[in-house]
Amino acid sequence: MSKQVGLSVNATTKLVGSTIKALEEHFENNDTVNFTNFGTFEVKKKLERISVNPTNGKRYLIPPKLVLSFKSSSALKEMFNAE
pLDDT, tens only, 9-43: 999 999 999 999 999 999 999 999 999 999 999 99
Q: Specify the pTM.
A: 0.70
Q: What is the pLDDT of residue 2?
A: 86
Instruction: Find, among 68, 26, 79, the residue nearest to 45 by Cα.
Output: 68
41 by DSSP, 3-state: which?
strand
Domain check: are 23 and 49 in the same one?
A: no
Which residues does 49 contact at the CB level (< 8 Å), separation at least 6? 61, 62
Total tally of structural domains belonging to the chain: 2
Domain check: are 15 and 51 in the same one?
A: no
The parent domain of residue 5 ranges over 1-31
Q: What is the pLDDT of residues 49-79, one digit of tens each?
A: 999 999 999 999 999 999 999 999 998 888 8
